[in-house]
Structure 1
């Protein structure tokens, strides 16, 4: 596998299959077709709930069209079960599918995957920081369904997941960046920045002293993982499509969401 063939990837998120279709796409749930325009596909969460058995034949059908599919779990995948249970379900399915498929389904849960000698993919959910203010360690409980829809998920547990994801990124990215010939792609579900990653209509009146939008995004721009060796950081969750550069890092989202504004499942990203 050469670096040139590994430099293009399709990235989509927030299909919400099995839920109400978006205003711009009236397909029947789980009849959604992902066009194959690259060798690799990244699914950045909120594809469907792992308790819905229709997810798995859909994934198998998608994998038939790609050399590899990278799957980051979102916050909706564990709805109706627990975070650990949802991950085990996805990982068990991937193991079974990969044993009988020419493609490869990769579940990214603080996972490093070397696509080639010069390109590495890192992935985790990146649960957001619930500490809204940079001057306080108090946890904010955002008005989201996660705490009532995911078993045993409390604000304290949620925050521990954030700390674990962030610690892994802050350790892994600088270590890989020591190899100057290696490009890094980071794939997460929650957003790694505040500005530019969601609809400005939902921005606070000021970002001064704000470290996160709890439940949605965390400002990682001053963290060790925010490194120029990261060629691309792609995310989902906010139902907002974007493509911009911050401090040398390309930030990208291609999210279907509820309305699908700006979403293109066939768009290819070159890295």
Structure 2
């Protein structure tokens, strides 16, 4: 962190990445670019010891803090609650913060993180079609069986309640799911599946008024303002995707 001599204001450099999908073996790099804090907005890799070792051995020494919000792919092949418990236990060693409905203070700034999950824009047909088409509902275990759209909607509502109670004006919010359909991938039609990829909660953004909202999930990068809040993503994508606009050198000062 640095202090501007003229006004004494402390600024923090954030390095942002999501959706680099290390589980596929070849992923976009997260280089050392002199940031104070690394923000990982989900779909980094599986919630397992391989990811923990990467955080601990390759990244932890570079940053004052690593803030890791899980995405959906972290839980593939795993029970959601067991994976969260394991990653929280490993985080106790101090190399990273597992931000599953958590707020963390770093210096003068407060970060609030949650996966957010899908609300399907509250469209029953979107829930039905996503339940058939999206791998989350075939790969994530939850509640003694597979994740269902109804269970995911429950998780989303828990996340919204957490954000509403926790976020204060000027905070930095980190979610995997974007909080507005304005962040959707414009290369695909506005259909039931598109409603799965963005959790459309503009009223929550407007009422909580964070300074910055970092997100991912769509493999389509955005940087725009919604009310008083900057909405930003820096997503890598799958190995075969080359046009997501991922910028490994992206630094955001707050």
Q: Normalised by the shorter chain, which TM-score bucket?
A: 0.7 to 0.9
Q: Which residue of 1 aligns with 2:51?
A: 55
Q: Aligned-residue CA RMSD in angstroms? A: 2.4
Is structure 2 residue 24 aligned with structure 1 residue 19?
yes
- 1:82 and 1:164 map into 2 onto residues whose CA distance is 18
Structure 2 portions without partners, runs of 5+: 4-8
Cα gap change, 1:88 to 1:150, in 2 (>3 Å): same
Contact 1:46/1:76, CA 8 A, preserved across alignment: yes
Contact 1:233/1:250, CA 8 A, preserved across alignment: yes
- 1:201 and 1:190 map into 2 onto residues whose CA distance is 18
SS in 2 for 1:55: helix
- 2:44 and 2:223 map into 1 onto residues whose CA distance is 21
Q: Which runs of 4+ in 1 moved over 6 A?
A: none
Cα gap change, 1:199 to 1:138, in 2 (>3 Å): closer
Q: TM-score, normalised by structure 2?
A: 0.85
Q: Deviations over 1:142-161 (max 9, x none)?
A: 12100110113112211110
SS in 2 for 1:245: strand
- 1:128 and 1:77 map into 2 onto residues whose CA distance is 15
Deviation (angstroms), 1:89: 1.6
Structure 1 portions without partners, runs of 5+: 26-31, 99-103, 178-182
Deviation (angstroms), 1:38: 0.8
Is structure 2 residue 128 aligned with structure 1 residue 140?
yes
Cα gap change, 1:137 to 1:260, in 2 (>3 Å): closer
Q: Which residue of 2 aligns with 1:204?
A: 190
SS in 2 for 1:9: strand
Q: Which residue of 2 aligns with 1:168?
A: 162
Cα gap change, 1:203 to 1:170, in 2 (>3 Å): farther
Matches within 5 A, 1:78-227: 78-96=75-93, 98=94, 104-117=95-108, 119-133=109-123, 139-142=127-130, 143-152=133-142, 153-173=147-167, 176-177=168-169, 183-195=170-182, 197-204=183-190, 213-223=194-204, 225-227=205-207
Q: TM-score, normalised by structure 1?
A: 0.80
Deviation (angstroms), 1:20: 5.7
Q: Structure 1 or 2: larger helix share?
A: 2
Q: Which residue of 1 aligns with 2:219?
A: 239
Q: Deviations over 1:71-130 (max 9, x none)?
A: 00000001111111111121111113x1xxxxx41111111112234x211000000103
Deviation (angstroms), 1:11: 0.7
Is structure 2 residue 253 aligned with structure 1 residue 270?
yes
Contact 1:16/1:48, CA 8 A, preserved across alignment: yes
Cα gap change, 1:247 to 1:33, in 2 (>3 Å): closer
Contact 2:184/2:194, CA 8 A, preserved across alignment: no
Deviation (angstroms), 1:36: 3.2
